[in-house]
Structure 1
């Protein structure tokens, strides 16, 4: 019997009938999951959000998938959204090892099975969720196809700072400093601190306001900068994934030509070697292609539905 969790339907702008539940992965932290369109006919989309994100941010995406015949299962990863957080300062985004996220994935699959969500299962992963999703595919989890949006297969930073980041990320936890904010970051939530004109997420003002309204209304959803522990874990995971061959899962990766958040070189390299994969470029789009202008959004969700349908 699952325990009901809060779901802010008033701001999610999602299909009716959604519900959220608490999940307890094997190692203990409580996470939140939400289901929309549980009785959809064509299958279920597991939606893996990026760092700082939360369930309600993908309410409109659930609507886009529902309109195309798919149920959507979304998660608050440990350490963000309403899931349990590691420290008293809720704004620090922290993880000790990216393997922990795979325990969250396992809990999601167990929920989908228990709820009898329609098969086949497909993946939609954004940013950090793309790193988690790629590892899930390499583990052989039961996803028929996958769509990635600006996947974090590398972290964008100046070349000179990369070796420094590796050293800090490795040594900080050893010396009990893994909980500190990574250099250049702090306890500010990006969408509330940055002006629309200079933001690196979307060129669509209405989608920008959609994100801002949610975090302003429910500050517990907000997240600030990553910890040194998260930085070290992310660099290690990206490095390990880069050494592994592409999975055989059919995949499409969407990337904006104005991307400034993740490192684009590993994306091009990975997709060039993905025999069953394709890279789609979105002219002028920024980091969040699924939350870009209406034309980009329609193209993205149509492309996803076409892939899912072809591998059902």
Structure 2
């Protein structure tokens, strides 16, 4: 017999899928591959994937002591010759730097130094629970504290002329909060499917489901039990990149992370309030992409975010990416190439 909490959890899923929509952004059009970005056909070429792996292996990596003494893994790639700037990647939940090999390769070969760190509780960074597969964070603010330390002690130390942010999903919530707290650190910011809200009534009832002991949220499991086949996945329509992602984590089990806990969802919901309460602090030019077939975060929150920026008189570029699932940076070429092209065009337009 199901408990009241299990029924509430089922209602969460039903209502959240029904309450999220996005109709107000301009649609992203197809473009030529002018930046010579990696393609699906090239990913089938052993020589090309060897180049991607070789660059990644040449990066400088290590650990620093993050907030509350959690070890944070980082990696960066510095241009030897005259660079266009530096890009700091803030990744999504469950992700690790190693998943961004292809993105790093594309950004680096287009003249940018690249920095990335694994958020606490995922990738090769320290975990806070005995069950290391659980998605958990003690305080959401620790994510921002870690990112600020990384920026001050590694990124800023290389005296780049311009520093840009590229943030995805959870990394978007972290990135927006960072812009609100430190408006002078980034020249511009690009957001891929930023996590700015969940569908109604997730945040309205999550407090009822969150106890003292961390437990997987409804529908979430340990990594080993939760791998979907490609046809059932909600992340990407690109089977080649989906398989590459899974292969990476199969080969590197220590970098894996399973589902989110109720505690992680609860603290994320509280952070959404912080984000929208402090939106007037944002001064950084930004570009935002919202996936047309989004099932992970709530696109309606993207609308609300942009409407509030518009009300403050702040200009930005915003795009609805038709046919795209959540993971725009590992989507099919016809989605990924236009997204990254717009990002690089946006950075270049401010590269003065």
Does TM-score exceed 0.5, indicating one fold? Answer: yes
Contact preservation (8 Å) 2:94, 2:256: yes
Contact preservation (8 Å) 1:31, 1:75: yes
Contact preservation (8 Å) 1:13, 1:59: yes
Aligned to 1:29: 70
Change over 3 Å in CA distance of 1:14–1:44 after alignment to 2 = farther
Change over 3 Å in CA distance of 1:189–1:287 after alignment to 2 = farther
Contact preservation (8 Å) 1:49, 1:129: yes
SS of 1:147's equivalent?
strand
CA RMSD, aligned part only? 2.1
How is 1:1-312 mapped onto 2 (pairs within 5 angstroms)?
13=53, 15=55, 17-39=58-80, 41-113=83-155, 115-116=157-158, 118-141=160-183, 142-156=185-199, 159=201, 161-169=202-210, 172=211, 176-177=212-213, 179-188=214-223, 193-246=227-280, 247-274=282-309, 275-312=314-351
Q: Deviations over 1:163-197 (max 9, x none)?
A: 3213334xx2xxx32x222233221358x610101
Q: Deviations over 1:143-180 (max 9, x none)?
A: 01000000000023x53x543213334xx2xxx32x22
Provide the TM-score with structure 2 as the length reference: 0.78
Q: Deviations over 1:231-280 (max 9, x none)?
A: 11101001221233351211111112111110110101212333221211
Pick the structure with greater CA Rg. Answer: 2
Unaligned runs of 5+ in 2: 1-48
Provide the TM-score with structure 1 as the length reference: 0.88
More helix by share: 2
Contact preservation (8 Å) 1:166, 1:235: no
CA distance in 2, matches of 1:304, 1:216: 30
How many residues get paired?
A: 295
Q: Deviations over 1:13-59 (max 9, x none)?
A: 36352121111124311010111234461111110001100001111
Higher relative CO (Cα under 8 Å, sequence separation at least 6) belongs to 2
Unaligned runs of 5+ in 1: 1-8
Change over 3 Å in CA distance of 1:11–1:194 after alignment to 2 = farther
| Segment drifting more, 74-83 vs 106-115 | 106-115
Contact preservation (8 Å) 1:249, 1:276: no
CA distance in 1, matches of 2:155, 2:304: 35
SS of 2:55's equivalent?
coil
SS of 2:223's equivalent?
coil
